[in-house]
Structure 1
Amino acid sequence: MNRKLLALPAVVAMIAPVLTACGGSSGDSATGGATIVVGTTDQIVATKDEEAPLDPAASYDIAGWNVLGNVFQTLLSYPRTGTTPVPDAASHCGFTDRASETYACDLRPGLQFSNGDPLTSSDVKFSVDRQIAIADPNGPSSLLDNVDRVETQGASRVVFQLKTPDTTFPFKLATPAAAIVDHQVYPAKKTYTGYRLVGSGPYSLTSWKAGDQAVFTANSHYKGAFTINNARIDLRFFKDSAAMVAALKAGSIDLTNRTMTPQEIAGFQDNTSDKYDLVEAPGAEIRYLVFNMKDPTVSQLAVRKAVAQVVDRQALVRDVYARTSVPLYSMVPQGIVGHTNSFFDLYHDPSVTAARQTLQAAHITLPVTLHMSYTTDHYGESTAAEFSELQRQLQASGLFKVTLKGVPWSTYDPDVIKGDYSVYGMGWFPDFPDPDSYLGPFFGKDTFLGNSYDNATIEKQIIPAERKVANRGSLTADFEQAQQIIAEQIPFLPLWQGRQYLAAKSDITGTEWALNASSQMQFWELGRGVSQ
């Protein structure tokens, strides 16, 4: 009978403080001769607007980070269980002051890049300085914008001086934003275009054919925290999930990663065959609408409030996602410190009557025309059905006339940054498993959302204050206040929180560990055992 494996929790209600991180085992290899073939519907394509989709300075989405996290090392990384980063390229890290403004790491001895170049503290400094200097609009440099300067002390010690206290800094060092690149290969002030990678992580990227297949081989130079359980990963790209699932059942791939449709997930849940396992992991992903505050229609609070009063999340997750996701009433999801039901508390169950009163009180002519946009090829095939359902709900109220526009991600992402859309759908996987990762990236100058929204209370008070606190579990009130502000002003409208699913042949081992605390794929956990 088909087994349903529940991965150990990747998202927890209380996240332990990270003042020091020490220990960590060396990266002993247990690769043998195993090759594992992973299927995905993610597409990573170099375009005119994004010429360097695999440069850590330019990549800031789950598809890219699934690759970067396996090829590049970071000073810290996530263990199999828990959310506290452990040393990877580092042997020891920790704050050296009480104010949480100085953070130091000592490197493991003998580190090398996959091309044989030595990895020293100079490469770490170069990598962080480079990320900040390039500041690619599509990249994750905002995660490191609190770094004042990076200092080296000999070849093996690096010290980060922060502009303001930040107890979340160790989490940020565990993301691909802090990936260590070879200063002899990567240019200091521009991105490394194309599909070439030189890192010191568990794998070397040996070939890449866009839209077809990428090959990762175990990096013999790797010295870090993790054991590599296979010799090679073949990552196959599929245009749709039907082709990916068919390939699994035909035996040409060993497991699926992102993304299956709810119906395909249900098919594996109901399957009585012993050939496959379905692995369910707690979901850190959220999906939400963004309102462009420069748009003359949705810049009116009454319009945004009326949308919030009409949208039926229960119907959305039932009819489109077959309950493989759950309704979300806060930008901070369930299982994370600071989660509330702020949108439900303010707007209650969907009510056309309440929405009509809201619009009439603001003297807004009905119906309101809304232009809604979504990406056709980045968040899964159900996205189109999701927006059709949102359109149906809003138009059924008689209060809105909704036009829909589906756009490929290669065009959609740069258009979002430029502020070209009025109401648009976005998804979010956390940079790291902390409530700050559901708050900080959405606020401040020139965010990736392009919606021209600022809030001084959140940006100047709440975020700086919460980053001073090591005991993250004590911050409930701070994050609840932020969620209340978001619910009152509605720059974003949370829709649902997803679960993560992998389908694999029954002889594939390590699937329960394959997704880390930020839902990124860890290839090294996968191995091959005995089929049932």
Structure 2
Amino acid sequence: MTLRTALSALLLAAGATCTLAAGAAPATPAKGEKVLRLFLSTSETGLDPAAASDIATLSLLENLFDPLLRYDYLARPVKLRPNTATAMPDISADKRTYTFRIRPGIYFTPDPAFKGVKREMTAQDYVYSIRRLYDPAIKSPWSYMFDGKLEGDEAFKQRFSHATQIPGLQALDRYTLRIRLKEADNNFLFYMATPASSVVAREVIEAYPGQAGNHPVGTGPFMIGEWKRSDRIVLLANPYSTAVFNATPGDDPQDKAIAASLQGKRLPRVDRVEVKIAEEFQGRMLGFLNSEYDYLEQVPESMTDMVIREGALKPELGARGITLSRFPVLQTYYMWMNMNDPVVGGYTPDRIALRRAISLSYNSREDIALLKKGFAIKAESPLPPNVLGYDPAYRSPVPYDPALANALLDRHGYGKRDADGFRRAPDGKPLTLTMHSEATVGGRLRDELWRKCLNAIGLRVVFKSDKKTEIIKASRLGKVTMFESNWIADFPDGDNFYQLLYGPNAGRANYARFNLPAYNERYEQARLLSDGPARQRLYGEMNQLIHAYNPWVPLTHAVSADLRHPWLKNYKRHPVEFTSWRYLDVDVAERARLSRQAR
């Protein structure tokens, strides 16, 4: 452990964008060393909790840095539990004051910024870390979690400085943190379990001005061992880690087995994690089948036939001990329409009828069966299953019904046709819909589905392909007419999805620029309520407004097809956290034996 610690310090002194010096994190692990092998589907960015927002980077941050709270690994429905806190916080009667007591003896991994001193993490470090989210130089995408919510935080807007103290964010002593809100926020504790609210050390941030993302120094279960950008990352077990497994299993026998295997044991369970960047679908699949990766989450739709036959794992893969599981992701796919667009936007009856007809034309069965290969369920509302506020009994009043769509368009002025048989606008001018799509194989397949659906009701559509990042930029500027998006929960509460249609969020998450007072009022009322009948009623009314005005076509909720090899132990996918690396174990001997047999 002493050698590993020293070598880690050398790495971070040299800069994390370089690979480790020879011998520090060898390409071939030591005999008997437990190594978890996996991939990330996209390249990482800078490893700064305050700045990163992409899933690949958040997956790494989750293992390098520590928030006060984490999700219970086994509890379903999900619940929070202490991480660096000794217990769940004390909460005042008005739900505005939260007092966290931090577990002593938690240390940052070594870095030259600490000048050889073993640096203990304290409450003041959390004050500094949360205050960084307000720093205008960082432009944190997570500032919304705290901005305008902490008592006195307007002082950060006047002139940001880390010397500024506010009553809403205080270290009462070395191990006690108090946060006071201006008003109650039912999702506040979820915010305290995100990577963005993880703790960083001020000395490290100031030692590398503007380069915090290149020098990740945290208190998490792992630390950086090797980092070759956009190619390979090696994480080493943090020798300072004091994390111990504790969880609440349900009745599932597999959950109970995991709990029995891990209860009271120190985390992490493996010595190192080797992460590769694998952007190509085929490379991921072949890598898993060749035993280069221990598990694969979300078999790509275009690769499903390689491993699945008639909804089940191919027998020859089952004979190798490979397991297939279905996991309902907290994710909603939807096609949104720009409410300010001159073709499909507006709140007049003819424009509402056009959007309603587009919704009625969408063939969810064909989408799920042919494009999703059966690994999805129809979206009845913005909320996926397992999110607080989800109503399993709710059904959309807008079914797949091309005949009704045609009748609706005829009735509202779209009855005239051009020489090719496509509908004209009510003023007699040509009518062409423009839908953006991703320049990928999957994007082209979706284009054909939409072309078939819209042509069936007499609507001409053209597709404009581009990179998703460019489409999102244009969407925020209001320059996109129609586009398919998806939203993965930041936290498992309905508010995280219904805010996507809240008027003041237009230009941000509300790409449709839907701004309906009746919806906004109900959203504002609902966000003040805890999960329960009163909020459920408001959510039902919001669903009805969405279906009445149709700024969205709710499409599907993904069901992930996940594969894992038999030597991987303690695996259970979590609905909210991105990774389970700290809990996973590897049977080294079984991996070696089965890998030889597979060759």
Q: Is TM more than 0.5 here?
A: yes
State the match for 2:126 in structure 1.
Answer: 124
Amino acid at match of 2:269: N
Give the SS at the match of 1:214: strand
Q: 2:432 aligns with which of 359, 364, 369?
A: 369
Map 1:158-307 to 2 at 5 A.
158-186=177-205, 192=211, 195-226=214-245, 227-258=267-298, 260-261=300-301, 262-264=304-306, 266=308, 269-272=313-316, 273-300=319-346, 301-307=352-358
Q: 2:373 aligns with which of 322, 336, 341?
A: 322
Would you say the 8 A contact 2:328–2:385 is kept in 1?
no
Amino acid at match of 2:569: T
- 1:505 is displaced (CA, Å) by 1.9
Give the SS at the match of 1:330: coil
- 1:81 is displaced (CA, Å) by 1.7
Unaligned runs of 5+ in 1: 1-31, 47-51
Distance verdict in 2 for CA 1:114–1:193, change over 3 Å = closer
Residue by residue, what CA displacement relative to the aligned partner does 1:78-136 show, whole Å, maximum 9, x if unpaired?
A: 11222110010111233532221111211111222223533211221122222133496
- 1:336 is displaced (CA, Å) by 3.3
Amino acid at match of 1:310: S
Distance verdict in 2 for CA 1:186–1:521, change over 3 Å = same
Distance verdict in 2 for CA 1:310–1:154, change over 3 Å = same
My pick for the range that moved more, 437-446 or 114-123, is 437-446
Distance verdict in 2 for CA 1:210–1:151, change over 3 Å = same
Q: 1:393 aligns with which of 453, 463, 466?
A: 453
Would you say the 8 A contact 2:359–2:553 is kept in 1?
yes
Give the SS at the match of 2:105: coil
Distance verdict in 2 for CA 1:486–1:62, change over 3 Å = farther
In 1: Cα distance, 2:233 partner to 2:345 partner: 44
- 1:392 is displaced (CA, Å) by 2.5
- 1:332 is displaced (CA, Å) by 0.8
Report sequence identity in percent. 19
1:62 equivalenced with 2:62 (yes/no):
no
In 2: Cα distance, 1:284 partner to 1:195 partner: 31
My pick for the range that moved more, 259-268 or 416-425, is 259-268
When the two chains are superposed, the root-mean-square deviation of aligned CA atoms in Å is 3.0
In 1: Cα distance, 2:490 partner to 2:146 partner: 12
- 1:449 is displaced (CA, Å) by 4.2
In 2: Cα distance, 1:488 partner to 1:436 partner: 20
In 1: Cα distance, 2:56 partner to 2:298 partner: 9
- 1:36 is displaced (CA, Å) by 1.2
In 1: Cα distance, 2:484 partner to 2:127 partner: 36
In 2: Cα distance, 1:335 partner to 1:367 partner: 44
Would you say the 8 A contact 1:218–1:231 is kept in 2?
yes
In 2: Cα distance, 1:472 partner to 1:39 partner: 39
Distance verdict in 2 for CA 1:349–1:265, change over 3 Å = same
Unaligned runs of 5+ in 2: 1-31, 111-117, 152-167, 246-266, 347-351, 415-424, 595-599
Map 1:130-149 to 2 at 5 A.
130-134=132-136, 139-145=141-147, 146-148=149-151, 149=168
In 2: Cα distance, 1:210 partner to 1:504 partner: 26
State the match for 2:73 in structure 1.
Answer: 80
- 1:436 is displaced (CA, Å) by 2.0
- 1:321 is displaced (CA, Å) by 0.8
Give the SS at the match of 2:50: coil
What's the TM-score once normalised by structure 1's chain length? 0.82
In 2: Cα distance, 1:439 partner to 1:461 partner: 10
> Which gives a bigger RCO, structure 1 or 2 (Cα 8 Å, sep 6+)?
1
Q: 2:494 aligns with which of 435, 439, 446?
A: 435
Residue by residue, what CA displacement relative to the aligned partner does 1:298-325 show, whole Å, maximum 9, x if unpaired?
A: 2133332221111111111111011111
In 1: Cα distance, 2:215 partner to 2:355 partner: 44
Distance verdict in 2 for CA 1:478–1:61, change over 3 Å = farther
In 1: Cα distance, 2:206 partner to 2:543 partner: 40
State the match for 1:90 in structure 2.
Answer: 85
In 1: Cα distance, 2:206 partner to 2:548 partner: 45
Distance verdict in 2 for CA 1:486–1:123, change over 3 Å = farther
Give the SS at the match of 2:88: strand
State the match for 2:384 in structure 1.
Answer: 333
Amino acid at match of 1:525: Y
In 2: Cα distance, 1:136 partner to 1:494 partner: 34
Distance verdict in 2 for CA 1:241–1:292, change over 3 Å = same
- 1:356 is displaced (CA, Å) by 4.9
Amino acid at match of 1:266: I
Amino acid at match of 2:83: D
State the match for 2:569 in structure 1.
Answer: 509
In 1: Cα distance, 2:231 partner to 2:33 partner: 23
Amino acid at match of 1:304: R
Amino acid at match of 2:186: T
Would you say the 8 A contact 1:346–1:487 is kept in 2?
yes
Would you say the 8 A contact 1:212–1:236 is kept in 2?
yes
What's the TM-score once normalised by structure 2's chain length? 0.74
Distance verdict in 2 for CA 1:258–1:322, change over 3 Å = closer
Would you say the 8 A contact 2:339–2:513 is kept in 1?
yes
In 2: Cα distance, 1:498 partner to 1:237 partner: 23
State the match for 1:518 in structure 2.
Answer: 576
Would you say the 8 A contact 2:437–2:463 is kept in 1?
no
Distance verdict in 2 for CA 1:412–1:345, change over 3 Å = closer
Q: 2:528 aligns with which of 425, 447, 467?
A: 467
Give the SS at the match of 2:368: helix
Map 1:97-116 to 2 at 5 A.
97-115=92-110, 116=118
State the match for 1:8 in structure 2.
Answer: none
Q: 2:475 aligns with which of 413, 416, 423?
A: 416
Amino acid at match of 1:297: V
In 2: Cα distance, 1:166 partner to 1:58 partner: 23
Aligned residues: 486
Give the SS at the match of 2:275: strand
Distance verdict in 2 for CA 1:259–1:352, change over 3 Å = same
- 1:343 is displaced (CA, Å) by 9.3
Amino acid at match of 2:33: G
State the match for 2:264 in structure 1.
Answer: none
Would you say the 8 A contact 1:168–1:467 is kept in 2?
no
In 2: Cα distance, 1:220 partner to 1:274 partner: 35
- 1:474 is displaced (CA, Å) by 6.0
Give the SS at the match of 1:426: strand
My pick for the range that moved more, 384-393 or 83-92, is 384-393
- 1:33 is displaced (CA, Å) by 2.2
- 1:202 is displaced (CA, Å) by 1.3
State the match for 2:249 in structure 1.
Answer: none
In 2: Cα distance, 1:132 partner to 1:456 partner: 30
In 1: Cα distance, 2:437 partner to 2:227 partner: 28
Distance verdict in 2 for CA 1:231–1:388, change over 3 Å = farther
1:38 equivalenced with 2:101 (yes/no):
no
